[in-house]
Amino acid sequence: MLSGSRIFAVNHKKISSLNINNVCCSKIRASLKRLKPHVPLGRNYSSLPGLIGNDIKSLRSVLSPPAAKIRNIGIMAHIDAGKTTTTERILYYSGYTRSLGDVDDGDTVTDFMAQERERGITIQSAAVTFDWKGYRLNLIDTPGHVDFTVEVERCLRVLDGAVAVFDASAGVEAQTLTVWRQADKHKIPRICFLNKMDKTGASFNYAVESIREKLNAKPLVLQLPIGEAKTFKGVVDVVSKEKLLWNANSDDGKDFERKPLLEMSDPELLKKTTEARNALIEQVADLDDEFADLVLGEFSENFDLLPAEKLQTAIHRVTLAQTAVPVLCGSALRNKGVQPLLDAITMYLPSPEERNYEFLHLVCLQTATGDTIVSSKSSALAAARRAEREGEKKHRRNSEAERLLLAGVEIPEPVFFCTIEPPSMAKQPDLDHALKCLHREDPSLKVRLDPDTGQTVLCGMGELHIEIIHDRIKREYGLETYLGPLQVAYRETILNSVRATDTLDRTLGDKRHLVTVELEAKPIETASVRPVIEYADSVSEDLLKASQEAIENGIHSVCLQGPLLGSPIQDVAITLHSLMIHPGTSTTMISACVSRCLQKALKKADKQVLEPLMGLEVTVTKDYLSPVLADLAQRRGNIQEIQTRQNNKVVIGFVPLAEIMGYSTVLRTLTSGSATFALELANYQAMNPQDQSTLLSQRRGFT
Ligand X SMILES: Nc1nc2c(ncn2[C@@H]2O[C@H](COP(=O)(O)OP(=O)(O)OP(=O)(O)O)[C@@H](O)[C@H]2O)c(=O)[nH]1
Question: Distance (Å, rounded) from C-alpha 127 to C-alpha 352?
Answer: 16
Q: Is 144 annotated as a binding residue?
A: yes
Q: What is the DSSP string of 183-218?
A: HHHTT--EEEEEE-TTSTT--HHHHHHHHHHHS---
Rule CB under 6 A: choose which of 143, 161, 253, 326 binds ligand X: 143
Verify binding: residue 147, ligand X, rule CB under 6 A: no
Stretch that binds ligand X, among 59-67, 191-199, 394-402, 570-578 (CB under 6 A): 191-199
State the DSSP code for 302: -
Rule CB under 6 A: choose which of 332, 574, 598, 601 binds ligand X: 332
Min separation Cβ 117 and ligand X, Å: 11
Verify binding: residue 567, ligand X, rule CB under 6 A: no
Verify binding: residue 676, ligand X, rule CB under 6 A: no
Positions 403 through 432 that interact with ligand X (CB under 6 A)? none
Q: Is 143 annotated as a binding residue?
A: yes
- Beta partners for 571? none
Rule CB under 6 A: choose which of 77, 434, 500, 679 binds ligand X: 77
Question: Distance (Å, rounded) from C-alpha 431 to C-alpha 585?
Answer: 40
Verify binding: residue 84, ligand X, rule CB under 6 A: yes
State the DSSP code for 296: H
Q: Is 443 annotated as a binding residue?
A: no
Verify binding: residue 195, ligand X, rule CB under 6 A: yes
Q: Is 83 annotated as a binding residue?
A: yes
Q: Which of 79/498 has CB closer to ligand X?
A: 79
608 three-class SS: strand
Stretch that binds ligand X, among 28-36, 302-310, 332-340, 597-605 (CB under 6 A): 332-340
Question: Distance (Å, rounded) from C-alpha 170 to C-alpha 677?
Answer: 12
Min separation Cβ 121 and ligand X, Å: 3
Verify binding: residue 340, ligand X, rule CB under 6 A: no
Min separation Cβ 335 and ligand X, Å: 9
Element (H, E) at 91: helix 83-93
Could you give phi then psi for residue 297, rounded to 5 degrees?
-75, -55
Q: Is 604 annotated as a binding residue?
A: no
Stretch that binds ligand X, among 22-30, 79-87, 438-446, 483-491 (CB under 6 A): 79-87
Q: Which of 77/127 has CB closer to ligand X?
A: 77
Q: Is 183 annotated as a binding residue?
A: no
Could you give the C-alpha distances from 140 to 81, 87, 143, 158, 382, in angstroms and in order?
Answer: 15, 9, 10, 10, 29
Size of the chain, expressed as the number of residues it contains: 703
Q: Which of 113/601 has CB closer to ligand X?
A: 113
CB 471 within 8 A of CB 399: no
Verify binding: residue 83, ligand X, rule CB under 6 A: yes
Question: Distance (Å, rounded) from C-alpha 345 to C-alpha 162?
Answer: 9
Number of residues that bind ligand X (CB under 6 A): 24
Q: Is 81 annotated as a binding residue?
A: yes
Positions 85 through 124 that interact with ligand X (CB under 6 A)? 85, 103-104, 120-122
State the DSSP code for 461: S
Q: Among the residues of 186-337, which ranges form H helices?
A: 204-214, 267-287, 289-298, 308-321
420 three-class SS: strand
Q: Is 550 annotated as a binding residue?
A: no
Question: Distance (Å, rounded) from C-alpha 486 to C-alpha 463?
Answer: 8
Element (H, E) at 346: helix 338-348
417 three-class SS: strand
Q: Which of 77/128 has CB closer to ligand X?
A: 77
Rounded (10°) angle between helices 308-321 and 289-298: 160
CB 166 within 8 A of CB 176: yes
Verify binding: residue 350, ligand X, rule CB under 6 A: no
**Residue nearest ligand X by beta-carbon distance:** 144
Verify binding: residue 591, ligand X, rule CB under 6 A: no
Rule CB under 6 A: choose which of 131, 147, 198, 288 binds ligand X: 198
Min separation Cβ 304 and ligand X, Å: 33
Q: Is 433 annotated as a binding residue?
A: no
Q: Among the residues of 393-518, which ranges form H helices?
A: 399-403, 428-441, 463-477
Element (H, E) at 63: helix 56-63
Verify binding: residue 220, ligand X, rule CB under 6 A: no
Verify binding: residue 144, ligand X, rule CB under 6 A: yes
Verify binding: residue 82, ligand X, rule CB under 6 A: yes
CB 40 within 8 A of CB 324: no
Verify binding: residue 196, ligand X, rule CB under 6 A: yes
Verify binding: residue 199, ligand X, rule CB under 6 A: yes
> Which residues does the annotation place in the binding site?
77-84, 141-145, 195-198
> Which residues does the annotation place in the binding site for GTP?
77-84, 141-145, 195-198
Binding site for ligand X (CB under 6 A): 77, 79-85, 103-104, 120-122, 143-145, 195-196, 198-199, 331-334
